[in-house]
Amino acid sequence: MILSKRLIFIKFKNMFSLSPEFLYWIMVAIPGILIASTVHEYAHGYTAYQLGDATAKAEGRLTLNPLKHIDPIGALSMLLFRFGWSKPVPINEYNFKKRELYTALTALAGPVSNFILAALAGIINHFLVKDPQSLIAFLLYTFATINVSLAIFNLIPIPPLDGHKIVRGFLPGKLKYYWEGLEKYSLILILLLILPFSPLQDIVFSFIGNTLTTILNFLGF
């Protein structure tokens, strides 16, 4: 079974604005998106490889080359609409000796890698940046924001996000069966999260925004 497409989501005000601030954000966000997406997918593949599944390695995806992981349309969508995707690293969970547990750990590796990148940005910002209004300070803040947002969104426990796989790994047998059944409704569930008229959108956006703010404050931004 192949792990589903990873999704990236960041909410900002004035989504369709072409203000100087928006264009400036696009310029500084590009390296952040490339690094965050690449490391996220690599972490999935590397963890799977260490746990017994060499599918990603066999298909040339166990690499930090962004060209192997970035979906051009997904990356462009991320820049313009704050919602996008990258190419999912192929994972065959039936190669794992402990399928549910190792699949959960593989899924968890992606968000954890993004939290680590955000923490590194926070450390650099704290010890090396003297002017909080400088370009490097804004680059680090944007980089941390992208990584934390990517991690939080992917931890939401619905398919096809990583959180769904993580939760499945710790559920008892019968409940696990019903949980897996949600995968057939992946598209509907994702649309309920992101469409402007969805009743869940405000709840999800509020959760992501509040959690993002808390983590960024903890990291010193």
* Mean pLDDT for the stretch of residues 42-52: 97
Please report which confidence band the pLDDT of residue 17 belongs to, taking 50, 70 and 90 as the band edges.
Answer: low
Q: Tell me, rounded to whole angstroms, the distance of Cα 150 from its chain centroid.
A: 3
Q: Enumerate the active-site residues.
A: 41
The pLDDT, as a whole number, for residue 135 is 85
pLDDT value at residue 167: 93
Looking at residue 180, what is its pLDDT?
Answer: 86
Q: 27 pLDDT exceeds 90? A: no
Whole-structure pTM value: 0.86
Q: What is the mean pLDDT of residues 6-23?
A: 53
Q: Helices in the chain by DSSP H: which ranges? A: 20-50, 55-58, 72-81, 99-128, 135-154, 162-168, 173-181, 186-194, 201-218
110/92 Cα distance (integer angstroms): 16
Q: What is the pLDDT of residue 191?
A: 80
Q: Where are the domains of the chain?
A: 7-218
